[in-house]
Amino acid sequence: MREAGYYHVYNRGCNRQPIFLDDDSIYFVSKPVYLGAASAFSLRSNGYVYMTLQEDGVDLDIVEDKLKEIETRGELDKVKFIYTISNFHNPGGVTMSYEKRKRLVEIAEKYDVLIVEDDPYGDLRYEGEAIDPIFKIGGQERVLLLRTFSKILSPGLRLGIVIGNKNIIRKMVMAKQASDLCTPSLTQRLAARYLQRHNLLAQIKPTIALYREKKDLMLTELDRNFGDMNGFYWTKPEGGLFIWFTLPEGFDTGEMLELGKAENILFVPGQAFSLDNTCRNSMRLSFCLPPKEDIIEGVKRLKKVIVEYGKEKKLL
Amino acid sequence: MREAGYYHVYNRGCNRQPIFLDDDSIYFVSKPVYLGAASAFSLRSNGYVYMTLQEDGVDLDIVEDKLKEIETRGELDKVKFIYTISNFHNPGGVTMSYEKRKRLVEIAEKYDVLIVEDDPYGDLRYEGEAIDPIFKIGGQERVLLLRTFSKILSPGLRLGIVIGNKNIIRKMVMAKQASDLCTPSLTQRLAARYLQRHNLLAQIKPTIALYREKKDLMLTELDRNFGDMNGFYWTKPEGGLFIWFTLPEGFDTGEMLELGKAENILFVPGQAFSLDNTCRNSMRLSFCLPPKEDIIEGVKRLKKVIVEYGKEKKLL
């Protein structure tokens, strides 16, 4: 059990004896990409390769083509990992299909690359069938699995779990010790006792029911408000916390943020999930926290902001 | 309030935008030096300058000479900080005198260098008068003060405090966010509520009384067992947790560790507090945890180990 598992995975590369990332390392991330991972990675190396996110997970043709190209350059040993959020992507909302998971493992085996599977939301599935983790398909020598208690027990504990190759874990422990000795024993014990005494997955069933309703409501409201507008589309997550909402080219959600604030609504501009200043016409919507009436009102105000901005910029 | 304050101070230098240490940075540390600080520093830069630890704190003539020399080389901008434990040094047990604190600030001002004052043990004073913190003498633009709750509330909270220049703190917060988002809010709130409701310094009075007795007892036992032996000396701390015990040249406390374990006693070999593999004839003794009868028995066994090793190596 480690604190904020995934952050520490990446940042361990900051040491003189890097566990993952050197200055000239290459790593694969989705586009859009989870902000926390991307900023930790890019502190160390800018050698990212983008994998476009599709409805059923990242585009694996890109991964295969790029790895082939890197192999031709003789730089395969610079590739440190392929990072992917398998379930209910942040911010994308989509889930990688079983077929893609299997193919990803095959590609990783072929080029002998580590997969880092980040799965913070997997237990928050509201509909559809659970899909085998990439970790299960590829095994612990090929896949490093990151989980967290933040979404199912308490974010304030800052506790995560890393499962994978023994040597990697050992090096992470050493780096963690040099960084801050260890994760607070108090929060570790709290979580451990809770798991001993309670069935965590049974406990979160009411939460899942509530989140499902809110997710469905937000999707319904998006459809009601934007269903007939050309060039507007959004992901339909089967779980997790986020919907990725894409507007026509020309919209700049970063610019729209202030307009939103004036209406007392908040979204995360797409740019925040990009390493190259793209994704400007998308935004991440969260449906978990607001009460249902606020979701209805919020999407209405979002439409107002979009129409206002779109007319001003002659986009609508 | 930040997690394990001091560790994070140093390690923030691991980023692309270093707050403190670059690869070619110069920093000043005591000899012997606190292990946790040294390993965090040296992950980033090996450019340390040793300040020999004396009875009244580090040797400031060395600091002044070295800074003059570095200035002559035109490399003063590479000097990032002077790191020092002001009270009850770990592992040295000694406390920096007021005169040295004042002079250290004057030197730091003259060469425009930051002082990092680490004070984890200051509240654990068993005798003598408290001395003004370097932070108070030099002010918060010159001195970055590190405190912790580990020794006075609970080590398992992993909570520390950093006080200093606003820009440094701001950069630390940013680096902390990129590293692991934040310190667990639960442990922060626990400590905050405790401080609101209780007088922490009053609460630890019984602890101080107990530690004082144990410290006095260990000093008495060291004197009883080693008082008449040539070349054996030890520090007489006025507080804190540690006594630094130095044996004649030729003794290797690292080698002696296994002999100690066979007698069921433990100490930390001096080498662990050195960046250059020195301090081999010293060891750090802790008097806080063992019951009094174990302190008496432990020092007796330590003597047995020392005599055994000393005779075998023809040092006694």
> What phi, psi does B63 have (nearest 5°)?
-60, -50
With a threshold of 0.90, does the pTM exceed it? no
Q: What is the pLDDT of residue B19?
A: 53
The Cα–Cα gap between B188 and B225 comes to: 45
The pLDDT score that the predictor gives to residue A2 is 41
Percentage of chain B beyond pLDDT 70 is 94
Do A124 and A97 touch, CB atoms closer than 8 A? no
Confidence of residue B13 (pLDDT cuts 50, 70, 90): very low
Residue A22 has pLDDT above 80, yes or no: yes
Q: Is the dihedral of CA A66, A71, A75, A78 positive or negative?
A: positive
The verdict on a CB contact (< 8 Å) between A180 and B3 is yes
CB contact under 8 A, A186 and B187: yes
pLDDT-based confidence at A19, cuts 50/70/90? low
Is A7 in Cβ contact with B39 (below 8 Å)?
no
Answer yes or no: is pLDDT of B6 > 90: no
Contact between A95 and A89 under an 8 Å Cβ cutoff? The reply is yes
Residue type, B42: S
Provide φ and ψ at A252, rounded to 5°.
-125, 100
Q: Would you state the torsion angle of the CA atoms of residues B106, B239, B286, B119, taken in this order, to the nearest 10 degrees?
A: -40
**Does residue A181 belong to the interface with chain B, where contact is any CB pair within 8 Å?**
yes
Ordered structural domains, chain A, with CATH: 26-196 (3.40.640.10), 202-313 (3.90.1150.10)
Contacts with A116 (C-beta within 8 Å, 6 or more apart), sequence order: A9, A81, A82, A83, A84, A143, A144, A146
Chain A, nearest residue to B4 by Cα: A180
Taking an 8 Å cut-off on Cβ atoms, the answer to whether A3 and B184 are in contact is yes
Lookup result for tokens 């390993």 = B39
| The pLDDT value given to residue A14 | 32
Interface predicted TM-score of the whole assembly (ipTM), two decimals? 0.78
Which among B7, B189, B190 has the least Cβ separation from residue A179?
A: B7
Residues of B within 8 A of A186 (CB-CB) are: 154, 156-157, 186-187, 190
Q: Mean of the pLDDT values across residues B197-225?
A: 97
Percentage helix, strand, coil for chain A under 3-state DSSP, each rounded to 5: 45, 15, 35
Contact A158 B180 (CB under 8 A): yes
